[in-house]
A and B are shown apart, each in its own frame.
Chain A
């Protein structure tokens, strides 16, 4: 049986610079994480991105991904946060 989707939300906030999306997506593809949706805005030089990803086939645990993204964020000077989707679903959908 095919595994159910394990959706998570990745938010990236910080000063805009070249290659933020590329670096985040490279990290995700290295770990077999599929990107379902990306939306992104830039307000006053500030980069604000939200990605919906599916981690069901990921080759590492949620915690490692979360930590890895956080470290990647520190390297490129933005804040990256990874949360399971349910918290948003529960809060905003009846």
Chain B
């Protein structure tokens, strides 16, 4: 009976209730029957239920039929599972005893869900006031020792097992309520539920048609687990003597009986115990298999510690090595292990004290490129070719230990979401002083002074208060300043900033950008900034590399690339940019780029932008090299000279322009996405 409700596995998968991906055609089995645990669970449960309910018609002996000459027998042809101390057939008794616990546990589940699920739906519907009352009630019920309360029920009304198990269902309903309330609340927040309500569906119908079905998985998982718990409790009560009276068999009492013979006849323990245990294991395995939906990807969280798959390879880049660069990335390839490439042939170099922007739409490999610079690619993704040289040292293929020595000390990173980038369990002071002590080898007191000074450097006035705070007490802009201070603890030479302002308010964005600019000016830091916002790039970057579908299509100084964009994609991005220079008229509509970035693995040969490009021609589907442009930069477009001679640009092209989409014909393509805008 130790396995009481609210097992962790039940709580791990609140997401499992989301409507699953559509099953692949040609597979008729439900997903949970494709896992061995699910197959075993469903098969064994079906077998036990069927065998127990039909027992009167097939068991070889009556439950009270004694064979006194054959007592405590081991399995034989006559008695497949042996006999008990009175010579009764164990097989017959086990399956004759099955119906009661199997039904009684079912009653517990029904009652528990009847109350718990209904209450959860009502509380989710009626809002916080009802919820507060019912949640308090549930908390009280959960805190009661339910097994002992069941004894009180038995003392009062006798061994009426179905009623007793229904009472257990009432007590367990508190646990069901708690889990289901969480799920119901998250389901109700989904848009289509709101839409249904706005459309005037009655609350009962909203619940029945929209909310309940998407809770199905969680309900099934919980029900299967509760069923197992119910079985254990029925058997446990019977073990204590609160079960059917002899000679009627019960699983629990048969085990109690066996315990008296454990010295002389241990076999007696085996058949009943194994059937009971297997049945409960089956219920739990079924629950796990059902819960596995949506969590498949999480089965391999293992952190890959082996060095990247491929060491540095010879550069295919035609440009000579840049001796002055702190960071020199050459022909970088990143791919999913045993899967498609995510980034191919990316090269760029960064001079000390300069800011490089990586720009492009979502899904172009900007973040992957940035993370590869520190060896922090997600599990299952690795650098598959090329080289990353940091101050002349190769970073591709080196050990995790060597990378650790670079991280924080030489290269630091600030992330997109400052609110979750800090550890919620530790104070700001701890999170800053800990790396300060490690990097600078100072004591606790001095580390705290340095931390306060760093906070001043990132523009925090009341540093002492912030040091004492926990992350949840900070605002987004404040948290990002703390993150920047954290990144500065190791006095790095390079800062990688992945969309550092995206999650922040517009006014705060400007403050953070000017802070970064001041840091570059004051400390000579180099920065790689990842952004989809050309405004940010124009604001802060010295150099820019425009990425499209995993490769750099144009790079050069920010001034050159933004003023005279050569690649049609860069031109399109600029045309779609809502930032308007002073003195120019605000366009009535912004141009958008038809179509979407092709996903990795579906990139065409030749130009990857061709399918969306206004100027695409036959020659664009062939392979071609990049050509030098913007001084030290390059452009990856085979028609670039042709277009430049003809002086056509994206803005002046016939089918688009400032008012392009008013005339653009409706096509079968997916809805146009605004490429670069906020």
Q: Do the two shown chains form a genuine complex with each other?
A: no
* Interface residues, chain A, with chain B CB atoms under 8 Å away: none
* Interface residues, chain B, with chain A CB atoms under 8 Å away: none
